[in-house]
C-alpha cells in the first residue's frame, strides 16, 4: 500500500486491475485504492508477472502493507515437476476446442469468462488476450468519495504544515503584457481545440524558474532537505462539491507548451472525475496554486509537507503601472512564494520570483 | 439554429463539464461563470463542446461578449449557418 500523501496512514483496496499470471510492466495500473482523497489508481514499479494477490477487495490495510507478490515469470529451475495427477476414473465430456492464446485462456479463467462466448479476432477466429481484456468491466469512477474525509485529510496536512514548517513569504507583481499578447496571437492561429490557457503558460514558467533555484524543489525529510531530481509541480485543482487535490503535472518543464496544455487538461479532468494515478499524488516536488481569472488578486499559500515551497498566482488583471516614466495600463499577475525557511532563505526565494518574471518576458521561449 | 436549440446544446455540454449545473436557476443576464462555478478550463471546454456541436467558430477575442447566458445564446444563434 503506497503512501499517497504525508498524512495517509491506510488505504482500502477497491479493485484489482490484474490477476495472477498477468505480465506487468513498470507503470501499468494494477489496482484501485480508496483513500481520504478519493479513489486512486496504483501503478506497479517493476516489470514482472503477478504471482499472488495478498490483499482482498474491500480490505483496509496500513501504508507499507504488501499488496501482491511479483515474480520474474520464469519457472524455478530446481523445483521438481510434480507428478501428474491421476486421471479421473469417470471420463468427462471433452470441452469444445476453442482457438485461443495461452494468456487469453489465463485471463478469461481469472475473470470467470467462458472462451466459447468470446468473439476472437486472431487468425482463424482465435481468441486473443485483447479480446478478453476488452470484456473486463471498467472500474467505476469515484468509489465512495467522501467530502468529509477529504476535509479531514486537508485539515491534517495543513495543521502539520503550520505546526512544523517555518514559512516565509515573498511576492512580486509581474507585467504580463508580452506574455498575454503572445498567447493571444498563438491562440488566434490555432483551432479552438488547441488553445492554450494562461494557467499552463504560468505553470511552465514556474517549472523553468524553480529548476534554477533547486532549494525550492524537493522535500524536507528527517531534518534534511532532499532536492528533487526533476520538476513535478503539483497543481492545485478545486473539486466540484468542495475540497481540492494537487496532483503532479509530471516534468512540466519538458515538451512544448501545447503538449503541456493537453497533459494539464487531462490531469484536471481526471482529478475532477476521481481517476488520478497514485504516482501523480505522491510525486509533486512543489505546489502551484493558481486562483484563476475569477479569483483574488493574491494568495499566500500553506506548504504541503514534506514539500518546501508553494507558488501562489492571483488573477491576471489590468492595473496602472509606471513604464519608462509614463503611466500605462498593463495586465499583471501577483506571484507569491511561500517557502520553508529551514530549506531556503529570502534571497534565494527572491531570485526565484525574479527568474519567473524574466521568463514571462520571453514567452516565445516557454 | 433557434434559441432553444442553442440552449439545448449548452445544456448537453454543461452536463459533461459541470454535471450539477442547472441552467433553470441561472440569472440569464448576470455573469454566467460565477453562477455555475466555471473556471477558465471549464469555460474553454464548454466553448470547445459548443464548437463541436454547432460548428460555430468562437475566437478568443469574442470572450468578453460571452459573459452571460443570454449573450452566449444570442451569439450562437447569430453565428450559426
pLDDT digits 0-9 by tens, A285-300: 999 999 988 889 999 9
* Residue B17 or A97, more confident: B17
Per-residue pLDDT at A94: 43
B53 touching A (Cβ < 8 Å): no
User: How many whole angstroms separate alpha carbon A32 and alpha carbon A354?
Assistant: 42
A145 touching B (Cβ < 8 Å): no
Query: For residue B12, what pLDDT band results from cuts at 50, 70 and 90?
Result: very high
Q: Cα-flanking dihedrals φ and ψ of residue B7, to 5°?
A: -65, -40
pLDDT digits 0-9 by tens, A244-287: 899 999 999 999 999 999 999 999 999 988 889 888 988 999 99
Strand partners, A319: A330
- CB distance A27 to A141 below 8 Å: no
Mode of pairing for the β-strands spanning A309-313 and A286-290: parallel
Which residues neighbour A90 within 8 Å (Cβ) at sequence distance 6 or greater?
A: none
Which helix (H) or strand (E) segment is B77 a member of? Answer: helix B69-79
Mode of pairing for the β-strands spanning A237-238 and A48-53: unpaired
The answer on pLDDT for A92 being more than 80 is no
The answer on pLDDT for A91 being more than 60 is no
Domains of chain B listed by start with CATH number? 3-79 (1.10.1200.10)
**Which among B77, B14, B21 has a CA at the least distance from the CA of B45?**
B14
The answer on pLDDT for A87 being more than 50 is no
Nearest to A192 among B19, B20, B47 (CB): B47
Strand order in the sheet with A10-16: A60-62, A10-16, A29-35, A38-43, A276-277
Per-residue pLDDT at A309: 98
Rounded average pLDDT over B12-31: 91
pLDDT digits 0-9 by tens, A161-175: 999 999 999 999 999
Which residues of chain B does A198 touch, with a Cβ-Cβ cutoff of 8 Å?
40
Cβ contact A188–B60 (<8 Å): yes
Strand partners, A244: A238
> Distance between alpha carbon A164 and the CA centroid of its chain, in Å?
25
pLDDT digits 0-9 by tens, B53-72: 999 989 999 999 999 999 99
Query: For residue A138, what pLDDT band results from cuts at 50, 70 and 90?
Result: very low
Which value, to the nearest 10 degrees, does the dihedral of the CA atoms of residues A311, A312, A317, A323 take? -50
pLDDT digits 0-9 by tens, A173-205: 999 999 999 999 999 999 999 999 999 999 999
Q: How far is A197 from chain B (nearest CA, A)?
A: 7
The answer on pLDDT for A144 being more than 60 is no
A254 touching B (Cβ < 8 Å): no
Q: What residues 168-227 of chain A have any CB closer than 8 A to a CB of chain B?
A: 184, 187-188, 192-193, 195, 197-199
Cβ contact B60–A187 (<8 Å): yes
Mode of pairing for the β-strands spanning A38-43 and A276-277: parallel
Which residues of chain B does A238 touch, with a Cβ-Cβ cutoff of 8 Å?
39
Per-residue pLDDT at A101: 76
Cβ contact B44–A195 (<8 Å): yes
Please report how the helices A257-273 and B40-54 are oriented relative to each other, as an axis angle in degrees rounded to 10.
Answer: 100
Q: How far is B79 from chain A (nearest CA, A)?
A: 15
Per-residue pLDDT at A136: 63
The answer on pLDDT for B31 being more than 50 is yes
Q: In chain A, what percentage of residues exceed pLDDT 90?
A: 53
Rounded average pLDDT over A104-114: 74
The grid cell for A329 is 495600463
Report yes or no for ipTM above 0.85. yes
Q: Is A158 helix (H, G, I), strand (E, B) or coil?
A: helix
- CB distance A172 to A229 below 8 Å: no
Residue A272: how many CB atoms within 10 A of its CB? 21
Per-residue pLDDT at A95: 47
Q: Is A194 helix (H, G, I), strand (E, B) or coil?
A: helix
- In chain B, what is the straight-line distance between the N-terminal and C-terminal CA atoms, in Å? 8
Residue B10: how many CB atoms within 10 A of its CB? 22
Domains of chain A listed by start with CATH number? 10-71 (2.40.50.100), 147-365 (3.30.559.10)
**Which among A301, A262, A259 has a CA at the least distance from the CA of A284?**
A301
Query: For residue A232, what pLDDT band results from cuts at 50, 70 and 90?
Result: very high
Please report how the helices A177-189 and A198-211 are oriented relative to each other, as an axis angle in degrees rounded to 10.
Answer: 130
Per-residue pLDDT at A90: 45
The answer on pLDDT for A82 being more than 80 is no
Which residues neighbour A88 within 8 Å (Cβ) at sequence distance 6 or greater?
A: none
Q: How far is B78 from chain A (nearest CA, A)?
A: 19
The grid cell for A42 is 496504483
Cβ contact B19–A268 (<8 Å): no
Per-residue pLDDT at A226: 97
Mean of the per-residue pLDDT values of chain A: 87
Identity of the highest mean pLDDT range in A146-150, A239-243, B32-36: B32-36
Per-residue pLDDT at A6: 66
Q: What residues 53-112 of chain A have any CB closer than 8 A to a CB of chain B?
A: none
Residue A175 CA: distances (Å) to CA of A119, A170, A182: 61, 17, 13
pLDDT digits 0-9 by tens, A302-344: 999 999 999 999 999 999 999 999 999 999 999 999 999 999 9
* Residue A187 or B37, more confident: A187
The answer on pLDDT for A34 being more than 70 is yes
Across A147-151, A254-258, A326-330, B24-28, least confident range: A147-151
Q: How far is A107 from chain B (nearest CA, A)?
A: 33
Can you list the positions of beta strands (E) in chain A? 10-16, 23-24, 29-35, 38-43, 48-53, 60-62, 68-71, 167-175, 218-221, 224-227, 233-235, 237-238, 244-245, 276-277, 286-290, 309-313, 317-323, 326-340
The answer on pLDDT for A86 being more than 60 is no
Query: For residue A134, what pLDDT band results from cuts at 50, 70 and 90?
Result: low
Amino acid at each position: 500500500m503506497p503512501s499517497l500523501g504525508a498524512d495517509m496512514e491506510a488505504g482500502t483496496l477497491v479493485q484489482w486491475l490484474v490477476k495472477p499470471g498477468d505480465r506487468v510492466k513498470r507503470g501499468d495500473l494494477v489496482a484501485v485504492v480508496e483513500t481520504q482523497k478519493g479513489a486512486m489508481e496504483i501503478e506497479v514499479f517493476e516489470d514482472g508477472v503477478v504471482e499472488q494477490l495478498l490483499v482482498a477487495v474491500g480490505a483496509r490495510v496500513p501504508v507499507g502493507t504488501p499488496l501482491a507478490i511479483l515474480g520474474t515469470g520464469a519457472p524455478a529451475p530446481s523445483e521438481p515437476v510434480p507428478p501428474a495427477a491421476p486421471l479421473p476414473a469417470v471420463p468427462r465430456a471433452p470441452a469444445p476446442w476453442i482457438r485461443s492464446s495461452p494468456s487469453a485462456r489465463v485471463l478469461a479463467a481469472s475473470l470467470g469468462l467462458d472462451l466459447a462466448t468470446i468473439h476472437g479476432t486472431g487468425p482463424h477466429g482465435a481468441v486473443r488476450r485483447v479480446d478478453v481484456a476488452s470484456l473486463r468491466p471498467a472500474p467505476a469512477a469515484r468509489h465512495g468519495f467522501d467530502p468529509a474525509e477529504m476535509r479531514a485529510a486537508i485539515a491534517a496536512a495543513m495543521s502539520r504544515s503550520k505546526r512544523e514548517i517555518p514559512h516565509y513569504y515573498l511576492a512580486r507583481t509581474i507585467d504580463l503584457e508580452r506574455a498575454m499578447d503572445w498567447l493571444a496571437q498563438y491562440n488566434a492561429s490555432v483551432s479552438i481545440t488547441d488553445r492554450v490557457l494562461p494557467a499552463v503558460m504560468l505553470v511552465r514558467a514556474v517549472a523553468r524558474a524553480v529548476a534554477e533555484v533547486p532549494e525550492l524543489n524537493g522535500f524536507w525529510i528527517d531534518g534534511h532537505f532532499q532536492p528533487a531530481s526533476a520538476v513535478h509541480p503539483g497543481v492545485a485543482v478545486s473539486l466540484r462539491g468542495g475540497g481540492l487535490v494537487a496532483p503532479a503535472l509530471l516534468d512540466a518543464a519538458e515538451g512544448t507548451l501545447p503538449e503541456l496544455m493537453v497533459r494539464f487538461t487531462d490531469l484536471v479532468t481526471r482529478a475532477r472525475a476521481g481517476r488520478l494515478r497514485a504516482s501523480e499524488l505522491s510525486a509533486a516536488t512543489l505546489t502551484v496554486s493558481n486562483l484563476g481569472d475569477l479569483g483574488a488578486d493574491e494568495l499566500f499559500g500553506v506548504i504541503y509537507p514534506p514539500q518546501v515551497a508553494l507558488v501562489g498566482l492571483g488573477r491576471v488583471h489590468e492595473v496602472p503601472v509606471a513604464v519608462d516614466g509614463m503611466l500605462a495600463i498593463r495586465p499583471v499577475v501577483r506571484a507569491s512564494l511561500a517557502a520553508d525557511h529551514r530549506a531556503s532563505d529570502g534571497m534565494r526565494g527572491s531570485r526565484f520570483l525574479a527568474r519567473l518574471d524574466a521568463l514571462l518576458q520571453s514567452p516565445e521561449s516557454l | 439554429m433557434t434559441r432553444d436549440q442553442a440552449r439545448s446544446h449548452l445544456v448537453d455540454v454543461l452536463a459533461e463539464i459541470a454535471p450539477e449545473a442547472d441552467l433553470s436557476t441561472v440569472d440569464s443576464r448576470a455573469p454566467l461563470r460565477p453562477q455555475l462555478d466555471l473556471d477558465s478550463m471549464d469555460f474553454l471546454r464548454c466553448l470547445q463542446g459548443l464548437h463541436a456541436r454547432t460548428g460555430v467558430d468562437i475566437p478568443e477575442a469574442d470572450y468578453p461578449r460571452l459573459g452571460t447566458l443570454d449573450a452566449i445564446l444570442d451569439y450562437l444563434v447569430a453565428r450559426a449557418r
